[in-house]
Structure 1
Amino acid sequence: MFIWSNIFRGIAMGVTELVPGVSGSTVAMFMGVYERLLQALNDLTTRNWKRALGFLIPLGLGMGCALLLFSHLITYLGKYHKMPLFYLFVGLILGILPFLWRSSHIQTNKSFRLFHLMLIFLSFTLVALLRLLHDPTASMEQTGSVEHTANMLTNLSFSTYLFLFAAGWIASTALVLPGVSGALMMIILGAYDTATIALKSFHIPVIFTIGLGVCAGIFITSRVIRFFFNTYTQVTYAVMLGLVAGSIVLIFPVGMPYSFLYGVICILSLFAGFMTAITFGKVERT
């Protein structure tokens, strides 16, 4: 009944959600489970709810473990090895784009027309412009507010919990949309530090409040996206392509590696991410 291999997929998605600018649903796409994820979320309120839970529970367990176990590691990499980390995800996204393009043609048996190309450009631009609001590659280096945020966890009011619930809801909308990062939305809303410190210190009330908002948002947003996939398949794929491609601009590191060896490491990270996505894409086709 339970698809236990989803634990590993959930871990990959959870680690990704810890990186501002990178979407866990993008990883779900190259692992070939994105549409199955949307279907399972929709099936929760149907007679197929047992099958949906068999898919979702292992996935959720994997994501939860990743959020709790890898938050320190991702924070460390983001602070001291930012460029290789983000080049790895740039490579993943570059490898996903051919898979998405090919999937669109397979699902609809049609080529993109001018209208669809315009949708790709528009959604690409909208995501890329998020960098003007906040640079996700710089946010992981900012540690000045961490101590202040840790102190805040002991003085949270009812209105703060409402805000955290709303932040989780909004971030979950980004979580379901490929190319849009839930972590980045939390940063823009000003709730990222609170959520990160809560995870590190295992602060149950904050984790539960944000998680409740995330669950509520995912449940509703997934239904909307599933409707568009079923009704306007090619249009939806065009928008997804633009969102995912735009996230490259969003997370691309600024500046040059400080040494030749570090530059080689960045290139190898980019290549590793690209080949990982291509390999998963080939497995999905077979």
Structure 2
Amino acid sequence: MEKPSKRELFLLYLKGVAMGAADIVPGVSGGTIAFITGIYQTLVGSIGAIGPKTVQTLFRDGPVAAWHSFNGNFLFVLMAGILTSVFTLSKLISYLLTEQAVLLWSFFFGLILISAVHVGRHITEWRVPEVLTLAGGALLAFGITTIAPTEIALNPITLFLSGSIAICAMVLPGISGSFILLLLGMYAHIIGAVKALDVVSLGIFASGCLVGLLLFTRLLSWLLTQFHNLTLALLTGFMIGSLNKVWPWKQTLSTRINSHGEAVPMDQANVLPDQFLMVTGQDPHLVYSLFLMAAAIALVLVVERLGGSKS
């Protein structure tokens, strides 16, 4: 295996930054970014390679061989980019979700829409099973986006389990780990821990993420190898179904009080831009929103053109 150049490592780091930024937003998956930037199967395969054989290689051939056995350099650089985003952009993303939600969601709506097309194009043969799998994935993701958030008790066990569940969603294009945390009522806790650098809470959550990641990616890697078209059809369906969550114009039907005593949306309905103005009294920013959707689509097409789409 050729040693990657500094330029390749820097580009990989930037892909990690983009994945981290996406993972912060409830409704957008870092797995989507991994797919459109051409590193998805490498990512899944590298994580899936970590297991008992890694330990055997460690004791038999040493730490360097063990590190290379699961593509350690790739994962290290990518994770560095992800963590950079999480710790530097969480405040910015939180601000945009509050102050410029329509524009932020517009960009990600365009991104996920073209990403669904992008993933679907990798399916080499469309048959009845692929069509049914796509439809099933879309219905499942749509159903998840309609579930009202809840609030579970905050303790080490729930933190660990939340990490285990959310990380599986973060790996899947179209299923947002942040949104799963939102459904569990853990999103504000995790973002708060990141902002406050609560090492204990973040350590427990990260442990759950690690366990869930190692178990789930092995299954996903096997599915991509044995049932490539069906798996991609399912992932495409996930993306299509998740568009319901990232539709920019929403009417809040009911709110709830979170653990910080703040009123946050609980039940929302998608509305058209002109209805958004009538029911909320807020500017739908239609021109800017359409521009950002188009910009997101153009961005993915440019990434494809540059040859980064060999996922």
**Match of residue 284 from structure 1:** 308
Aligned counterpart in structure 2 of residue 169 of structure 1, from 160, 164, 167: 164
**Match of residue 122 from structure 1:** 136
**Match of residue 148 from structure 2:** 134
Corresponding letter in the other structure for 1:277: V
Corresponding letter in the other structure for 2:13: I
Aligned counterpart in structure 2 of residue 89 of structure 1, from 93, 105, 108: 108
TM-score (norm 2): 0.79
* 1:267 matched to 2:281: no
> C-alpha separation between the residues in 2 aligned to 1:246 and 1:272?
21
> C-alpha separation between the residues in 1 aligned to 2:25 and 2:66?
31
Contact 1:228 1:236 in 2 (8 A): yes
Contact 1:90 1:270 in 2 (8 A): yes
* 1:39 matched to 2:77: no
> C-alpha separation between the residues in 2 aligned to 1:224 and 1:217?
11
**Match of residue 205 from structure 2:** 210
* 1:24 matched to 2:47: no
**Match of residue 117 from structure 2:** 98
> C-alpha separation between the residues in 2 aligned to 1:165 and 1:285?
34
Contact 1:44 1:53 in 2 (8 A): no
More strand by share: 2
> C-alpha separation between the residues in 2 aligned to 1:67 and 1:134?
25
Q: CA deviation at 1:199?
A: 0.6
> C-alpha separation between the residues in 2 aligned to 1:207 and 1:272?
34
Contact 1:170 1:217 in 2 (8 A): yes
TM-score (norm 1): 0.85
Q: CA deviation at 1:183?
A: 0.5
> C-alpha separation between the residues in 1 aligned to 2:197 and 2:10?
25
**Match of residue 220 from structure 2:** 225
Structure 2 unaligned segments of length 5 or more: list them.
Answer: 58-64, 251-270
Contact 1:5 1:58 in 2 (8 A): no
* 1:72 matched to 2:78: no
> C-alpha separation between the residues in 1 aligned to 2:114 and 2:146?
25
* Identical positions, percent: 24
Contact 2:35 2:309 in 1 (8 A): no
Q: CA deviation at 1:285?
A: 5.4
Q: CA deviation at 1:219?
A: 1.1
> C-alpha separation between the residues in 2 aligned to 1:70 and 1:183?
14
For 1:45-64, what aligned pairs fall within 5 Å after superposition?
45=51, 46=54, 49-51=66-68, 52-64=71-83
SS at match of 1:186: helix
The count of corresponding residues between Structure 1 and Structure 2 is: 260
SS at match of 1:194: helix
Q: CA deviation at 1:49?
A: 4.2
Q: CA deviation at 1:208?
A: 1.1
Contact 1:171 1:214 in 2 (8 A): yes
> C-alpha separation between the residues in 2 aligned to 1:32 and 1:25?
11
> C-alpha separation between the residues in 2 aligned to 1:285 and 1:83?
28
Contact 1:127 1:250 in 2 (8 A): no
> C-alpha separation between the residues in 1 aligned to 2:115 and 2:245?
16
CA deviations over 1:150-180 (Å, ceiling 9, x no partner):
xx9xxx7xxx011101100000111111111
Q: CA deviation at 1:66?
A: 0.5
Contact 2:37 2:309 in 1 (8 A): no
Aligned counterpart in structure 2 of residue 248 of structure 1, from 221, 243, 250: 243
Q: CA deviation at 1:33?
A: 0.4
CA deviations over 1:77-96 (Å, ceiling 9, x no partner):
00010011011011111221
Runs (4+) of structure 1 exceeding 6 A deviation are: none
CA deviations over 1:92-142 (Å, ceiling 9, x no partner):
11221222122122xxxxx2111211110111011011222138xxx9xxx
SS at match of 2:202: helix
Say which one has the larger Rg. 2
